[in-house]
A and B are shown apart, each in its own frame.
Chain A
Amino acid sequence: MTTEQETPQSTQPKRPGRTDGVMTEFTVFTKIKPEEADALREDLAAMSSQGDARQAMEQIGTLHSARHVMFDNGTRHMFASVFDGSWDSYIDDFAKTAVGERFERVFRHTEGFPGIKDPNVKDWFAAQQQTAGVFATAYPDLTVQQVWKDQRVNQAFQEVLDTPEFRAALDNPANAALLATPAFQKLLNEAQG
């Protein structure tokens, strides 16, 4: 079937990778250099601190999830990730952040990696990339930025619901017109539990 090949390319003018809504999956398979499996394992262990990873992801702002997996007895490595938009638009930007250092630290153990700051690094990644057969996400319309915003808004909303002053305001007849609007009814619907 040619359509399987063409669909992602027609929606993604630049690189392969399947999309769902605003997101693109980006999965790379590489060969680990001989004798470097232990070194990679140690680097991954050192990088597995959630705090550092989270900080790196905050810096990127478009990465939903990422995992590094070693397999085939330590001879191969998979990097699987989900980005907003296309991953390669921002690859030069990543190289300038803590994410660049993390990429460098992992992929230096894999064969042929030119270095995260090399101008040909996009082509190298694309050559190692395999496009997913199926890619689906539970929230296809939401970018990382929106998920963070939504989380902040909900936390603030819940705090408002906890204040007695808010309960009193709902009972105040002066606010009846506001309460009657469909938009506010939607908000109250979410406030019920």
Chain B
Amino acid sequence: MSEAASTSGPGVSVEIDDIQSGALHARPSPYVGRFFLLRIDDRHAGRAMLGRMLPATEGGLPTVNPDQGAWVTVALTFQGLRALGVPQESLDSFPPEFQQGMAARAEHLGDTGESDPAQWEKPFGTPDVHMGIVALAPDAERLQKALEHERAALQETPGVEIIWQQEVHQLPGGRTSFGFRDGISHPGIEGVGSGTNPHEAPLKAGEFILGYPDETGNLPPMPQPEVLGRNGTYLAVRKLHTKVAAWRQYLRSNSSSPEEEGLLGAKMVGRWPSGAPLTLSPDHDDEALGADPHRNNAFGYKENDDRGLKCPAGAHIRRINPRDATIVGATRLHRIIRRGTSYGPPLPEGVLEDDGADRGLIGVFIGAHLDRQFEFIKSEWVEDGNFIGFSGEKDPVAGHHDGTGTMTVPAKPVRRRLQNLPSFVVTRGGEYCFLPSLSALRWLSELKG
């Protein structure tokens, strides 16, 4: 790590070249990718595998045009760190929720009922998941090239085995399976790069990378030794199945015209299908606004929509990032980097019956504090509504409802209340991973004993 490679922000110099590109790099658009979960049967093999992966694992500035490159990210679960033979003292220095793993946190996270870890796709939630590898690229050719190294490293390393994989790809029109443009909002980070919302001041680097001061003025709790923790971060990885037919049926049966149906979906999401935010275009979709990266995320709520008459406080995008809206608590302590990638075929347009296909997204949520970022957002903002004054209401899109969910849609003269919301998203699996720095990967690959 040379001095010259550091980038400077107010009062902080981030060692960007030591941070895996996958941590801060925006998703390309279009994209193809592949997620792998691996089991390490022998710690020496695991270390050798990491060593062989190192040349293919890049660090560096996320401001490079994301549509140009392809990159591979290597992450480890707590069980994976154990399988590599990381010293006990060091294992003990990881935060408790990471040690427990996502499945053990299910009740707190609202992963119950059909999202209960007992129903998860194997090997999610089992002690077999040790390593995660993610490869993302703008096209299949560059993805294959990026994966060549991994393939070779695996062939040379018996004792490390792929136990699950998932192909992801952008759906036509750059939309999610529900039909909405995603990947729009990214926070700005001091010393790293600006975000997509010019009204939000960049967040302290320590919100996203270990080893730097965070929004509380402290250094995030960091696993030891320093070479292992510094410039690392955490990923919450989730496989989320989307019930697209149920979503379309709900919209159809709760509206009386295609226009109303479109508005209802937008009120639940907070954006129109094009990505245009309701706050800026409350009455109709605006394709040009949705496609304009300089405008489609340039807004707050407080000045013009604190009551939520345009974008309901309970809408998905307003819950998971309330921006400057009046809420219980401090938004800046609960920001996160979201990287959603779609899997499975789209449900053809107009189809209202479930075709039985598995489709949805692999969601990756990145931050230096699993507890007050991912876990807080999921438990307080997605699975409850007290923070916006609607106790007991959940995120109408991402919340786990049991068919009796409600959502208040503010309106004049009288609010509308959606009733009998079912779940449109089911958790099929998830893992907490540590995303080590390049120095930490080297340190892990050189462990002795």
Which residue numbers of A lie inside 8 Å of B, CB to CB? 13-14, 22, 60-62, 84-85, 89-90, 92-93, 95-97, 117-119, 142-143, 145-146, 149
Contact across chains for A145 and B391 when beta carbons are under 8 A apart: yes
Contact across chains for B218 and A96 when beta carbons are under 8 A apart: no
List, in ascending order, chain A residues with CB within 8 A of B389's CB. Answer: 145-146, 149
In the complex, 10 of the A-B residue pairs with CB atoms within 8 angstroms, ordered by the A residue number, are: A13-B105, A22-B386, A85-B384, A85-B386, A89-B379, A90-B328, A90-B329, A92-B333, A145-B391, A146-B391
Shortest beta-carbon distance from B79 to chain A in Å: 20
Contact across chains for A85 and B380 when beta carbons are under 8 A apart: yes
Q: How many residue-residue contacts, CB under 8 A, span A and B?
A: 53
For residue B122, CB closer than 8 A to chain A, the reply is no
- 4 tightest A-B contacts by CB? A93-B329, A61-B328, A13-B108, A93-B330
List, in ascending order, chain B residues with CB within 8 A of A13's CB. Answer: 105, 107-108
Contact across chains for B391 and A22 when beta carbons are under 8 A apart: yes
**Closest chain A residue to B109, Cβ basis:** A13
Shortest beta-carbon distance from B447 to chain A in Å: 28
Interface on chain A toward B: helix, strand, loop, or mixed SS? loop
Contact across chains for B386 and A89 when beta carbons are under 8 A apart: no
How many angstroms between the C-alpha atoms of A96 and B333 in the bound complex? 10
List, in ascending order, chain A residues with CB within 8 A of B254's CB. Answer: none
**Closest chain A residue to B327, Cβ basis:** A61
List, in ascending order, chain B residues with CB within 8 A of A119's CB. Answer: 216, 218-221
How many angstroms between the C-alpha atoms of A149 and B376 in the bound complex? 24
A89 in complex: contacting residue of B216, B217, B330, B376, CB < 8 Å: B376
Q: A13-B107, A13-B108, A85-B380 are in contact. Are A145 and B217 (CB under 8 A)?
A: no
Contact across chains for B328 and A145 when beta carbons are under 8 A apart: yes
Shortest beta-carbon distance from B182 to chain A in Å: 27
How many angstroms between the C-alpha atoms of A13 and B376 in the bound complex? 13
List, in ascending order, chain A residues with CB within 8 A of B330's CB. Answer: 92-93, 96-97
Contact across chains for B333 and A93 when beta carbons are under 8 A apart: yes
**Closest chain A residue to B100, Cβ basis:** A13
Contact across chains for B328 and A14 when beta carbons are under 8 A apart: no
Interface residues of B in 208-224 (CB under 8 A from A): 216-221
Shortest beta-carbon distance from A4 to chain B in Å: 20
For residue B142, CB closer than 8 A to chain A, the reply is no
Contact across chains for A92 and B391 when beta carbons are under 8 A apart: no
How many angstroms between the C-alpha atoms of A60 and B328 in the bound complex? 6
List, in ascending order, chain A residues with CB within 8 A of B218's CB. Answer: 117-119
Shortest beta-carbon distance from A63 to chain B in Å: 10
Contact across chains for A14 and B386 when beta carbons are under 8 A apart: no
How many angstroms between the C-alpha atoms of A146 and B216 in the bound complex? 29
**Closest chain A residue to B218, Cβ basis:** A119
For residue B82, CB closer than 8 A to chain A, the reply is no
Shortest beta-carbon distance from A158 to chain B in Å: 19
A13-B105, A13-B107, A96-B216 given. 8 additional CB < 8 A pairs?
A: A62-B328, A89-B379, A90-B328, A92-B330, A93-B328, A95-B216, A117-B216, A119-B218
List, in ascending order, chain A residues with CB within 8 A of B386's CB. Answer: 22, 62, 84-85, 143, 145
How many angstroms between the C-alpha atoms of A149 and B328 in the bound complex? 14
Interface string of B378-398 (1 = CB under 8 A from A): 011000101001010000000
List, in ascending order, chain A residues with CB within 8 A of B175's CB. Answer: none
For residue B442, CB closer than 8 A to chain A, the reply is no
List, in ascending order, chain B residues with CB within 8 A of A89's CB. Answer: 376, 379-380
List, in ascending order, chain A residues with CB within 8 A of B384's CB. Answer: 85
How many angstroms between the C-alpha atoms of A60 and B219 in the bound complex? 25
Shortest beta-carbon distance from B298 to chain A in Å: 25
**Closest chain B residue to A11, Cβ basis:** B107
List, in ascending order, chain A residues with CB within 8 A of B252's CB. Answer: none
For residue B149, CB closer than 8 A to chain A, the reply is no
For residue B372, CB closer than 8 A to chain A, the reply is yes
How many angstroms between the C-alpha atoms of A92 and B368 in the bound complex? 15
Contact across chains for B108 and A14 when beta carbons are under 8 A apart: yes
How many angstroms between the C-alpha atoms of A143 and B329 in the bound complex? 15
**Closest chain B residue to A116, Cβ basis:** B216
Most buried by B among A90, A118, A146: A90
Most buried by B among A62, A92, A142, A143: A92
Shortest beta-carbon distance from A161 to chain B in Å: 19
How many angstroms between the C-alpha atoms of A14 and B109 in the bound complex? 12
Shortest beta-carbon distance from B100 to chain A in Å: 9
Shortest beta-carbon distance from B377 to chain A in Å: 11
How many angstroms between the C-alpha atoms of A85 and B217 in the bound complex? 26
Shortest beta-carbon distance from A58 to chain B in Å: 11
How many angstroms between the C-alpha atoms of A14 and B379 in the bound complex? 12
Shortest beta-carbon distance from B58 to chain A in Å: 31
How many angstroms between the C-alpha atoms of A89 and B217 in the bound complex? 18
Shortest beta-carbon distance from B154 to chain A in Å: 37
Contact across chains for B372 and A143 when beta carbons are under 8 A apart: no
